Amino acid sequence: MSAQIQQIFTFENAEQQTKLIGVNDNFLRLIEEGLSVQLHARGDQMSISGDESQVQLARAVLSELTNLIKHQINLSPTDVVSAVTMAQRGTLEYFGDLYSETLIRDNKGRAVRVKNFGQRQYIQAIRKNDITFGIGPAGTGKTYLAVVMAISSLKRGEVERIIITRPAVEAGESLGFLPGDLKEKVDPYLRPIYDAMNAIIGAEQTQRLMDRGVIEIAPLAYMRGRTLDDAFIILDEAQNTTNQQMKMFLTRLGFGSKMIVNGDVSQIDLPRGAKSGLISAQKILADVNRIAFVRFSSADVVRHPVVGLIVNAYEAAEERLALLKKEH
């Protein structure tokens, strides 16, 4: 165990101090929780107390966040969590690089950028490959970034339309009891996709593009028998496809098109005995050219830090359960 130490971090001006501390000191709380240190701001100085190695990491995080402020970037809790996570993983030196490129500007004019190293790998894979699989837990930004890349491609004229789909399988719920036709039944389950679209281009623009058929959001059953040329195609919740559905979807790829397949293999809602097409695809397509697999972990979660802790806790519980089953 390292020695307990205290270091002083000096703010260059009042504006930097306000932006670095956050509303009601919320940015400091995130750093304290993530790195097990104590931060106390007084005047133009802040003390950092704790285990020597953690204090050094906290100081490095504060320096990186200060550099963002100097480049006129408004900090969000996500930025702070990303810096802390990268410090823990030993990749903080790449933190500044994440802000070197704006993927798109959202409906409110804010720059959309990757938030961590995993997301950066995901974006690079999408650009280089015809089909990209994003596999990992909720909160890693897979769906949102897929929609960002789809809209970017549409705006640049690289594709003529965006098609987003997901299988009509949900945890413990029967679609038969819901009112309306198949699309109306499945629309509530496509809400995260609508939310992403609305955040990036606005609800009115989303609706206009849907009315014109430029954006199509539909259940997976609607994909059968089609060849999708000049399209950006996203399959969400792919862990709930069967092998046959996955093969059917992947073979829809046409000329001038890109595909993204996203899923979380820890949240499979298929009937007992049915095998996930996403799990099989990882083995079957592992060595196929122009297909990439990007795997996210709980460390890539960009929601509230507690979400990452929840994911870790569930993974640990599942591992313990698996060990108990082996013993018996």
pLDDT tens digits, one per residue of 185-224: 666 777 888 888 999 999 999 999 999 999 998 888 888 8
Q: Are 17 and 11 in contact (CB under 8 A)?
A: yes
**pLDDT value at residue 250:** 96
Average pLDDT over residues 154-170: 88
Structural fold of domain 114-305: Rossmann fold (3.40.50)
The DSSP annotation for 267-285 comes to ---SPTTPPPHHHHHHHHT
**pLDDT value at residue 274:** 85
Mean pLDDT (the chain) is 88
Tell me the two tokens of residue 188.
Answer: 């509530």
**Residues 69, 73: Cα–Cα separation, whole Å:** 5
- Pairing state between β 231-235 and 161-166: parallel
**Residues 202, 141: Cα–Cα separation, whole Å:** 19
Q: Are 137 and 266 in contact (CB under 8 A)?
A: yes
User: Which pLDDT band, with edges at 50, 70 and 90, does 225 fall under?
Assistant: confident
**Residues 32, 38: Cα–Cα separation, whole Å:** 6
Lowest mean pLDDT, pick from 165-174, 299-308, 313-322: 165-174
Q: What is the CATH number of domain 4-100?
A: 3.30.1370.10
What is the Cα 321 distance to its own chain's centre?
28
**Residues 261, 166: Cα–Cα separation, whole Å:** 10
pLDDT digits (tens, 9 = 90+) for 174-195: 445 445 555 566 667 778 888 8
Average pLDDT over residues 32-51: 92
DSSP, res 147: H
Report which listed range, 174-178, 225-229, 308-312, is most confident. Answer: 225-229
Q: Are 76 and 27 in contact (CB under 8 A)?
A: no
**pLDDT value at residue 173:** 41
DSSP, res 213: T
**pLDDT value at residue 171:** 40
Coil/strand/helix, residue 179: coil
DSSP, res 4: E
Q: Are 115 and 79 in contact (CB under 8 A)?
A: yes
Per-residue pLDDT at 249 exceeds 90: yes
Give strand pairing partners of 6.
49
Per-residue pLDDT at 305 exceeds 70: no
| Residue found by looking up tokens 């297909």 in the block | 291
Lowest mean pLDDT, pick from 122-126, 162-166, 279-283, 315-319: 315-319
**pLDDT value at residue 74:** 87
Per-residue pLDDT at 318 exceeds 80: yes
**pLDDT value at residue 221:** 83
**pLDDT value at residue 180:** 59
* Separation in Å, CA 140 to CA 146, 287, 292, 305: 11, 25, 17, 12
Per-residue pLDDT at 309 exceeds 90: no
pTM of the complete model: 0.79
Q: Which candidate, 213, 211, 209, 183, places its Cα nearest to that of 197? A: 209
Per-residue pLDDT at 235 exceeds 50: yes
**pLDDT value at residue 174:** 47
Q: Are 238 and 215 in contact (CB under 8 A)?
A: no
Q: What percent of the chain has pLDDT over 90?
A: 55
Q: Is 322 or 303 the better-scoring residue by pLDDT? A: 322
Q: Are 303 and 77 in contact (CB under 8 A)?
A: no
Residue ranges of domains in the chain: 4-100, 114-305
**pLDDT value at residue 218:** 82
